[in-house]
Structure 1
Amino acid sequence: MQTRRKTLKHSAVVAGLLATTGLFPQYALAFNKTAFEAKNVADVLKALGAGAPVASKDVVIGGPDIAENGAVVPLTASTSLAGVKQMLILVEKNPSALIAVFNVTDSVEANFATRAKMGQSSDVYAVAIMADGKALFAKKEVKVTLGGCGG
């Protein structure tokens, strides 16, 4: 009988083997240290080679209006636009603004969810970086009642 745990373990082993043989080159190139160390939204986009961000109703950011615990704030980012290269989730007032980068291809639906640590109330951004370098964003304010970044 195949249990969920066995399936996950098997998948992790296969992914590890593929990564060590170089069959996952996009993962080796996916980490952009400069972008993850950037302190603000503009510097993150510059590090990723994107243009100035433009607000768009086609990009959606989701999250709570009030986060009871800043250590685990659920956030979502999505768009139905064609030609998206990357989806980003950013928290403006975090020490490092970039929370997540999701690489997108035509075979991937640009709809992502993650949890972020937030030390204080802040604007949160979902940014869609298009194949032509344009950056489209949506913004939402999330109020944090108990800080998660040592606050």
Structure 2
Amino acid sequence: MNDKIKVLLVDDHSVVRDGLRLLLQLNDGLEVCGEAATLKEAIMMAINTNPDVILLDFKLPDGDGVSGCISIKNLFPNIKIIILTAYAEEHIVMETIRAGADGYLLKNIESEELIKTILSVYNGDSVLDLLLQREFLIV
């Protein structure tokens, strides 16, 4: 029986996916079940792999985190989505959360914090990057 949390990586930069895969493979409780470079590929991978959590870049060649969250959540409402991006603008963060994101992290996050966030979101928590919380004065 596989008790690992299945994570789908969605980023249009292969070096980012490679780094995330290597990082997540170090944790015995996580399994990278697939990788995608576009939203279309992400949806196909989600159909084929049934991930628990999707790490989703905000800007992709065929859409953004808002359209990605809406599309994925409409098809797979139980999949948790964590936006992992460099974009820290408040309107982008808020639109993405309204679209169904369960977490929003900046790509400068420490490795251990990323792992903790995946586990927290999988367990039902909503997570906003600490830097964004301070910037938006959310406590």
Normalising by structure 1, we get a TM-score of: 0.26
Higher relative contact order (CA 8 A, sep 6+): 1
Which structure has more strand as a fraction of its residues?
1
- TM superposition score normalised by structure 2: 0.27
Q: Which has the larger radius of gyration?
A: 1
Structure with the higher helix share, 1 or 2: 2
